[in-house]
Structure 1
Amino acid sequence: MAKKSPRAATPALKILEQAGIAHTVHTFASGQDNFGQHAVAALGVEPERVFKTLVIDLTAGKGPRRALAVCVVPMTHQLSLKKAAAAHGVAKVCMAESADAAKSSGYVPGGISPLGHKQPLPTVWDESALLCDSVFFSGGKRGLDIEMDPQLLPQVLEVTFADVVAD
């Protein structure tokens, strides 16, 4: 089981603390890769309650400037790029380059939180989160997850809920 840490000052945690949103912080050994799988194993919860934050490119890699956005999906599923494009109102998307995701968010890949980005991005969270009493997602560091009620997300994040997972 993951250890609970009283405080870890990441931008994501600061946002929740300042807003007075109830949440629990979990820390664990993140490993060197497959960070979501390590989180699922360490947290000891149903894997569909553990969500990964993915940064996508709304320009589909075309053009000199990237327009980035976020999709948050359960660890048990893959992102549907077609559904992500529709949810973000564009024709086509691709995954963002890791360097672009890190630069935009201010977080290291494998520890990107949907909260507290240096440059706030449009965010679509898979609607399956709303079926859970609480969800787990990166708190802004590898090996640090936040647990909270997904119904409270709109209080701290401009978020849309939609089906964005691959069938």
Structure 2
Amino acid sequence: MLCACGSSRHSPYEGAKRVCDGRDQNNGIRWWLVDNKVLDGYSAMSLPSYYQVYALDAGELKRYFSLADHNKSTLFFVPLGSQPNCIQYDITRSDILPDSLKKKYPNLVSLKGKGAGGNDIRLDYDGNVLQGQVISDGEMYYITPLNHNGKIFHMVYKRSDTKEIKQEFERP
């Protein structure tokens, strides 16, 4: 099993605070909470009303997804906004890409997983950035990469904090 929460000792961004720490220090991803001020000057029109920004180490991401793509089961931890602890998911390859696309995009890794209480997660990694959707306690969260001033950050936010309007089929 891999744990997606810890490997190097130092933050990839000065002043960041580690929020997810794992048990397997060799194969994980640590989430480093960054002050939202790093996005000063970013278009407020495109930001959700509430979000948290994280710095992730590029080497940790690459190593984790390379290993996860070849293992049958992996652990992944993700911080979800106002929740006090990181949420754990059991991850497997999603196997949704046809062979032709795998050949065209060899660095693309798609994973899916389940957490406690029927929570779901979907992760995509293209060799540079992580994108994801998480369902936890009935809420949809997004993990979205942002390239700001030449640095890549990952924003985590609830769908309900966006200006996005639900489609008819998504409404209760």
With the shorter chain as reference, the TM-score category is 0.3 to 0.5
**TM-score (norm. length: structure 1):** 0.37
Max Rg structure: 2
**TM-score (norm. length: structure 2):** 0.36
Point out the structure with the larger strand share.
2
Point out the structure with the larger helix share.
1
